[in-house]
Structure 1
């Protein structure tokens, strides 16, 4: 029986596959890796998202501290979703290799912006003049 390895991202971290196209200038010139790594801001595709920032349940009041209660974890989820293009601060990212692929673990606080492709309502040939 073969088991498949999987990374579980914890906390409010994101696992990002760096966008290799970000090492190119607007004119199409490829920059050396040393120049691309010196950029303060990078972009990459979100592959995995952690559960979020843990916080205590405000409804759990310790009126009777001797009673055992089953505590469930509550999280504030990050805004990022799998498939988003994340623009983040490079220095905050930690590089890892998993199954010969390069990924970055980026804290949610280092994400500056997200680019997401949403399916717009009415985008399938229903423009305002079509009736």
Structure 2
């Protein structure tokens, strides 16, 4: 995601969103009411990257001592959001970052209100 060799990796159940500048109509055609725009309660943007999801605890029944258990691969509950989706989310829950001169928002999946997905995009 960078020309300088650095990559921005999203962790957990979060998404990286390219910020859409405030308008009353989003790029995908959704109208936001004036109250949402004025208070900046709701914002939208395109999802650039997603984390792996919510980590699941290892429920394997082991009678071994916990400190001697070999490392196992972490399993995740998959995310509903996908790269390329348009997301409407609560602005208060988002964290703004700048990476390689571009502004992005890191948004937890729980703050996403709705997703708009192109039906022609393959999974």
**TM-score (ref. length: structure 1):** 0.73
Contact 2:17 2:105 in 1 (8 A): yes
- Measured in 2, the distance between the counterparts of 1:77 and 1:17 equals 21
1:63 maps onto 2:63 in alignment: yes
Which sections of structure 1, spanning at least 5 residues, go unmatched? Answer: 27-34, 121-131
Partner in structure 2 of residue 25 of structure 1: 24
**Cα shift at 1:19:** 1.6
**Cα shift at 1:16:** 0.3
Cα deviations by residue, 1:101-129 (Å, 9 ceiling, x for unpaired): 00000011000110000129xxxxxxxxx
Partner in structure 1 of residue 91 of structure 2: 90
Q: Which runs of 4+ in 1 moved over 4 A?
A: none
Partner in structure 1 of residue 33 of structure 2: none
Partner in structure 2 of residue 45 of structure 1: 46
Which sections of structure 2, spanning at least 5 residues, go unmatched? Answer: 26-35
**TM-score (ref. length: structure 2):** 0.78
Note the aligned Cα RMSD (angstroms). Answer: 2.3
Cα deviations by residue, 1:61-112 (Å, 9 ceiling, x for unpaired): 1222275323110101110000000110000000000000000000110001
How many corresponding residue pairs?
Answer: 108
Contact 2:93 2:107 in 1 (8 A): yes
Q: Against the structure 1 CA distance between its residues 12 and 42, is the aligned structure 2 distance closer, same or farther, given a 3 Å change threshold?
A: same
